[in-house]
Amino acid sequence: MVKSKRFSERAGRFIIYATVIFLGLVCLLPLWNIVAISFSSNEAVVANAVGLKPVNFTTKAYEMIMDDAQFWRSFSISVQRVILSLIINLVIIILMAYPLSKTKRHFKARSIYMNLLIFAMLFNGGLIPTYLVVKNLDLINTIWALVLPGAVQVFSIILIMNFFIGVPKSLEEAAIIDGASPIQVLLKVYIPISLPALATVALFSIVANWNDFFQGLIYMTKVSNYPLMTYIQSLTIDIAEMINSGNSNDLQNISEVSNRNLNAAKIVISTIPLLLIYPFLQKYFVTGIVVGSVKE
Amino acid sequence: MVRNFSKLFILILLAAFLAACVEKDPEETASTTEDGETVITLGRVTAANPKLPEGDTYEDNAYTRLVEKELNVDIRDAFEAEGEDYDRQVALAISSGDLPDMMRVNSLDELKELVENDLVADLTDVYDENASDHIKSIYESYDNRPLNEATFDGRLMAIPATIGGNAPNIVWIRKDWIDKLGIELDSDGDKLITLEELEKTASTFIENDPGGSGNPVGIPFVYWLNAGDYGGSAFAMTSIASVFDAHPRHYYENENGEIIYGSTSEETKKALGVMKEWFDKGIIDPQFGTRTWDDITALLTNGQTGIVTGPWHLPDWGLSAVKDMDKEAKFAAYTLKGENDKVNVFQENPVGQFIVVRKGYEHPELAVKILNLFYDDLANEKNIESEYPEIAKYNELGVDGSTRPFNIEVYSSTSQLDDFRKVESVVNGEIPMEEIVKPSIKADAQSIIDYIDNPENAETSSWSKYHSRMFGLGLIDELTKDNKFNWTTPFYVGTTETMEKKGANLLKLEEEDFIKIITGSESLGYFDTFVENWKSQGGNEILTEIEEEIEK
C-alpha cells in the first residue's frame, strides 16, 4: 500500500514536472531562437538554417544597431517615458486608492468617484477624439503625449484600493492612537505594507509603457521623436507592400534594414531592460507580509 | 445626495460634449517666417533606412536646404510616417481639419475623397503656367495618362507620380547550374524560351540536384499566385500566364470588345492547365499552396531550386542571399515566348501616388516649382558636383529618395531603358563615365564595372546590380529593340464600391480555387464553376461599375 502510494505520488510529480518543463520550453525556445538568429549571418537566416545554435556566428547585426543614432535616441525616449510614467502613475495610484479604500462614513462622495472611474475604465473617447484632445493641448511631439494620456491607471487603482481595504484596521488605529496624521498613516503604514502590490502595479506600468508602440505612432509625427517600440515597429516592413512604389535603389535600402537577423537583434536589445528590472522588483514579491503584523 | 451628484455629473458631461461641438476658429498658420521665407508644411512619407548623414533629418537635409536656397521656402513637416502609419496620420489630419499645405496621397480613392470634400486646391492654372517643358514632356511620354487620373471635371487637382516601368515577367535561372549540367537552353540566343524548354530545364535540375541540397523542389510559386502589378509579380505565375496572353488580376477589354476580368478568362484556364500538369509531373514545388516569399528565398538560398519568376529588379533584393551563400551562383534572365511568338505584357497601372495642395493655401505654384526643381533641374544637371555639391554627396552616400520633399517618382516612360543604354555603353567602354548625368545611374555603372573587373571579390550589391541591369534590363532592352512585345492596357479605376465590399472575398475565392485546381483536389473543369461563382458573388457588379466609370 505504502509503496504504491509512493509510486503514484512520484508518477504524479513526474507528470507535473514534465508538463511544467514542457510549458517552460515552449515559452523559452522561440525566444532562444530569436537570440540565435540575431547572432547568425543573414544568408543562414534566409535559408532557414538557424535553430537553437547560431550559424556562422557574427555580431554584425549588433554593430549595425550600435551605429544607428535613431535607435539610441528612441531608446532614451522610451526610458524617459517609462520613468516619468512610473512616477506619475504610482503617485496618482496611491493618492487615489487611499481615500477610496475608506468607507462611505469617512469619504462621502466615494461612490461617485468610483462610478466615474469605472465608467472611464469601460468606455473611452475613441481614437480620434482622444487625438484631438492631445493635439489641442499642444502635446503632439512631446514626451507628455506619451505619459499624460495614461497617467490614471484605473485598473491599478482598484487593485491597490482593494489591497488597502484588506489591510487590518487595527494597524491604522494603532498608528492613530500613537498620534499619526492621515498622511503619516499612508506613508508609514499603508505603503510599507503594500510593497508587493505596489511592485506589481509598478511592473504593469513599466511593461505597458515600454512595450507600447501605438501611442508613439499616433502622437509623434516625426521619426526622431519615436519611442523605441514604435521605431522598431516602423523598421519591420513587408517588402511586398513597398515594392511597387519604390525605385530599386530605395528597395535595396529597405531590404538592408528589414532583414530577419537585424530585427532579431533589435528584439533582443529591446527586451534587455525589462529582463534587468524583473530581479530588482522580485524581492518585493514576497507574500504574507501582513501576516504576523497584528495578533487578532 | 447621490442623486444630486449624478445629475450634476450628467450636466457636466453634457457641457463637455457641447463645448466639443463648438467650432474652432480656423487656425492661423504663419505662412511666412521672420526672414520673409514662405513656409510649407508637408506630410512626408518616410523610409525605414533613409541613410541620412549624422545631424540631418527629414525636415532639415540637403534637399530641403536646396529648396530653401532656390525657392526661398522653409519646409516644415506636419507629420512623417510610412506605410499604413502615414495613411493614419493623413486620416487624423483630415478629421482634425488641419491638413498640411502639401502632402502625398497614396491612392486614387483617397484623392477622389479629398476632391469630393473640396479639401484640395485646383492646380490646373499653376501647372500650365509654371511647369517646365521637360516636366510636361515627361507626362506626355505616357500620353498624359497620369495627369488624366488626377483630373476631375477638367481640372487638375493633384500632381501625379508617373507610372512604373512596363516590363515582362522574367524567368531567373541559375546560370552556373545550366553550364554545369550542360543544358541546352535558348539555342537561338534571343532570350525567349518556350514552356517545353523551361520544363526540361526544371526536370534536369530536379534529377541532378546541382545545388546538392538532397531535396530539390522544382519551380516554386507563392500561394497567392498572381499580383495586380508588375512589382508584386515575384514568384507569381505571371510569366506562365503571359504565354497564353492571359493577364490575371487585371480588368481589360478582350478582342470582342467586352470588359473582362483577366483571372476568369479562357487564357487563364489554359495557363492553369499547364500549372496543373507541371504539378502532377513534379515540375512545380510539391508544397505549392503554402509557400510565402520567405520560404521561396530560403529554397533558393539552400540550393533546392534554381528557377524563379519575378521582375527585373529581383536580384537587388530577392536573390542576393543566394550569392552570399554560394559564391559561384550566377543567374540568367529569360522570358517565356507566347503562343503568338510575341512576349505578352500588360501596361502597368499608374502607381496611384499624388501630391495635393491644401485648398486655400496661398502659394500653390510652389508645388509645381518644387516639381521643376527636383525632376527637371536636378535630374538634368550635368555638373552636379560643382553646382550642387551637397546633393552630390548625398548621391554618393545612397541617401534614400524619400528625403526629398515630394516622395514620388516623376520620370519619362523611356527613362529606365535610356539610362540602361548609357550604363551599357559605359560598361562596354564606348562612352566615358562622365556622359552619365544621373548620379544613381553613375553609381550603378561603377558597381557593374567593379563586378566585371573582379567577379570573385566583388561585393554582393555589385553582383546584384550586374544581374538586375545587364541581364534584367538588358533583356527588356533587347526585346524592345526587336519589337517583341504585345501590349495589353488594363483599365485603371481605383477601388469601386463593390470591390470595396466584396473584393476581399472574391480574391480569396480566386486564390483558393486556383490552388485547388493546380494541386488536383479539383479538376480543370472546375475553373468554369469558379468563373460562375466569381460572377454571381459580385464580379458582374464590378464589371458593370467599371463600364460606368469608363463611360464617364
List chain B domain ranges. Answer: 38-164+351-403, 170-346+494-551, 415-481
What CA–CA distance (Å, rounded) separates B30 from A212? 34
- Asked if the C-beta of A237 comes within 8 angstroms of chain B's C-beta atoms, the answer is yes
Confidence of residue B139 (pLDDT cuts 50, 70, 90): very high
* Inter-chain residue contact B47 with A112, CB threshold 8 Å: no
B13 neighbors B341 (Cβ within 8 angstroms): no
What pLDDT is attached to residue B64?
A: 94
**Residue A131 reports pLDDT greater than 70:** yes
What pLDDT is attached to residue B4?
A: 55
What pLDDT is attached to residue A243?
A: 59
**Residue B546 reports pLDDT greater than 70:** yes
- Asked if the C-beta of B503 comes within 8 angstroms of chain A's C-beta atoms, the answer is no
* Inter-chain residue contact A253 with B49, CB threshold 8 Å: yes
Average pLDDT over residues B38-42: 93
Cell numbers 516554386 correspond to B220
What CA–CA distance (Å, rounded) separates B273 from B257? 25
What pLDDT is attached to residue B53?
A: 86
**Residue B25 reports pLDDT greater than 80:** no
What pLDDT is attached to residue A254?
A: 66
**Tens of pLDDT along B492-509?**
777 888 998 999 999 999
Q: What is the secondary structure of A164-216 as a DSSP string?
A: HHHS-HHHHHHHHHTT--HHHIIIIIIHHHTHHHHHHHHHHHHHHHHH--HHH
Q: In this predicted structure, which of A210-224, B140-154, B256-270, B435-449 has the lowest mean pLDDT?
A: B435-449
The percent of residues above 70 in pLDDT, for chain A, comes to 86
Q: In this predicted structure, which of B33-37, B76-80, B385-389, B488-492 has the lowest mean pLDDT?
A: B33-37
- ipTM of the complex, rounded to two decimals: 0.74
What pLDDT is attached to residue A279?
A: 81
What CA–CA distance (Å, rounded) separates A126 from A290? 41
Helix (H) and strand (E) counts in chain A: 17, 0
Q: Please tell me which of the candidates A128, A237, A250 has its beta carbon nearest to residue B92.
A: A128
Measured between alpha carbons, how far is residue A184 from residues A163, A179, A188, B43, B90 in Å? 18, 9, 6, 53, 52
HEC letters along B220-270? CCCCCCCCCCCCCCCCCCHHHHHHCCCCCCCEEECCCCCEEEHHHCHHHHH
How far is C-alpha A265 from the chain's CA centre?
20
Question: Does residue B351 or residue A24 have the better pLDDT?
Answer: A24
Q: Which residues contact B454 (CB under 8 A, 6 or more apart)?
A: none
What pLDDT is attached to residue A294?
A: 58
Confidence of residue B469 (pLDDT cuts 50, 70, 90): very high
Q: In this predicted structure, which of A20-34, A64-78, B522-536 has the lowest mean pLDDT?
A: A64-78
* Inter-chain residue contact A218 with B20, CB threshold 8 Å: no
For residue B301, which residues of chain A lie inside 8 Å, CB to CB?
43, 46-47
Cell numbers 497601372 correspond to B349
What pLDDT is attached to residue B6?
A: 55
Question: What would the CATH number be for the domain defined by B38-164+351-403?
Answer: 3.40.190.10
**Residue B48 reports pLDDT greater than 90:** no
Average pLDDT over residues B515-537: 94
What pLDDT is attached to residue B505?
A: 93
By 3-state DSSP, what share of chain B in percent is helix, strand and coil, each rounded to 5? 50, 10, 40
What CA–CA distance (Å, rounded) separates B346 from A139? 49
CB atoms within 10 A of CB A114: 14
What pLDDT is attached to residue B30?
A: 52
What pLDDT is attached to residue B2?
A: 45
Bridge partners of B358, per DSSP, are B120
Q: In this predicted structure, which of A41-45, A188-192, B57-61, B154-158 has the lowest mean pLDDT?
A: A41-45
**Tens of pLDDT along B273-288?**
999 999 999 999 999 9
Encode A63-87: b = buried (16+ Cβ within 10 Å), e = exposed: ebbeebebbebbbebbeebbebbbe
Q: Which of B92, B226, B459 would you mutate first to test chain A, the one with the most A CBs within 10 A?
A: B92
A237 neighbors A166 (Cβ within 8 angstroms): no
What CA–CA distance (Å, rounded) separates B422 from B433? 9
Q: Which residues contact B505 (CB under 8 A, 6 or more apart)?
A: B537, B538
What CA–CA distance (Å, rounded) separates A15 from A11? 6
**Residue A114 reports pLDDT greater than 70:** yes
The amino acid that residue B404 corresponds to is R
What pLDDT is attached to residue A255?
A: 67
Stretch 201-220 of chain A: residues touching chain B, C-beta under 8 Å: 217-218
- Pairing between β-strand B38-45 and β-strand B102-105 as defined by DSSP bridges: parallel
- Asked if the C-beta of B17 comes within 8 angstroms of chain A's C-beta atoms, the answer is no
Q: How far is A259 from chain B (nearest CA, A)?
A: 10
**Residue B242 CB-density burial (10 A; 0-12 exposed, 13-18 middle, 19+ buried):** buried
**Tens of pLDDT along B226-270?**
988 887 788 999 999 999 999 999 999 988 888 999 999 999 999
Q: How far is B435 from chain A (nearest CA, A)?
A: 21
Cell numbers 502609419 correspond to B85
Query: Hey, what's the cell of A60?
Result: 554584425
For residue B10, which residues of chain A lie inside 8 Å, CB to CB?
none
B499 neighbors B542 (Cβ within 8 angstroms): yes
Query: Hey, what's the cell of B253?
Result: 477589354
Query: What is the CB-side half-sphere exposure of residue A130 using CA atoms within 13 A?
Result: 14
What pLDDT is attached to residue B21?
A: 45
What pLDDT is attached to residue B22?
A: 43
- Asked if the C-beta of B494 comes within 8 angstroms of chain A's C-beta atoms, the answer is no
| Closest by CA position to B383, among listed B434, B450, B331, B447 | B434
Average pLDDT over residues B478-502: 88
* Inter-chain residue contact A112 with B89, CB threshold 8 Å: no
Average pLDDT over residues A24-39: 93
**Residue B362 reports pLDDT greater than 60:** yes
What pLDDT is attached to residue A232?
A: 85
Q: How far is A99 from chain B (nearest CA, A)?
A: 18
| Closest by CA position to B347, among listed B165, B145, B138, B543 | B165
What CA–CA distance (Å, rounded) separates A254 from B401? 11
Average pLDDT over residues B33-38: 81
Stretch 355-394 of chain B: residues touching chain A, C-beta under 8 Å: none
- Asked if the C-beta of B2 comes within 8 angstroms of chain A's C-beta atoms, the answer is yes
Size of interface A-B (CB pairs under 8 A): 136
* Inter-chain residue contact A237 with B48, CB threshold 8 Å: yes
Q: How far is B132 from chain A (nearest CA, A)?
A: 23
What pLDDT is attached to residue B347?
A: 86
Q: Please tell me which of the candidates A128, A221, A223 has its beta carbon nearest to residue B95.
A: A128
What CA–CA distance (Å, rounded) separates B385 from B381? 9
**Tens of pLDDT along B187-231?**
888 889 999 999 999 999 999 999 988 899 999 999 989 988 887
Average pLDDT over residues A160-174: 90
What pLDDT is attached to residue B414?
A: 86
At A272 the three-state DSSP class reads helix
**Residue B15 CB-density burial (10 A; 0-12 exposed, 13-18 middle, 19+ buried):** exposed
What pLDDT is attached to residue B529?
A: 95
* Inter-chain residue contact A46 with B9, CB threshold 8 Å: no
Query: 1.10.260.40, 3.40.190.10, 3.30.70.260, 3.40.50.720: which CATH number matches B170-346+494-551?
Result: 3.40.190.10
**Residue A249 reports pLDDT greater than 70:** no
* Closest-CA residue of chain A to B77: A222
**Residue B20 reports pLDDT greater than 50:** no
Average pLDDT over residues B291-306: 90
Question: Domain A63-282 sits in which CATH superfamily?
Answer: MetI-like (1.10.3720.10)
Stretch 316-335 of chain B: residues touching chain A, C-beta under 8 Å: 316-317, 320-321, 324-325
What CA–CA distance (Å, rounded) separates B30 from B170? 52
Helix (H) or strand (E) holding B551: helix B540-551
What pLDDT is attached to residue A287?
A: 55
Q: How far is A95 from chain B (nearest CA, A)?
A: 22
Phi, then psi, of A227 in degrees rounded to 5: -70, 170
| Closest by CA position to A162, among listed A212, A216, A105, A97 | A97
What pLDDT is attached to residue A22?
A: 96
Average pLDDT in chain B: 88
Q: Which residues contact B218 (CB under 8 A, 6 or more apart)?
A: B202, B203, B205, B206, B278, B282, B283, B284, B285, B286, B305, B307
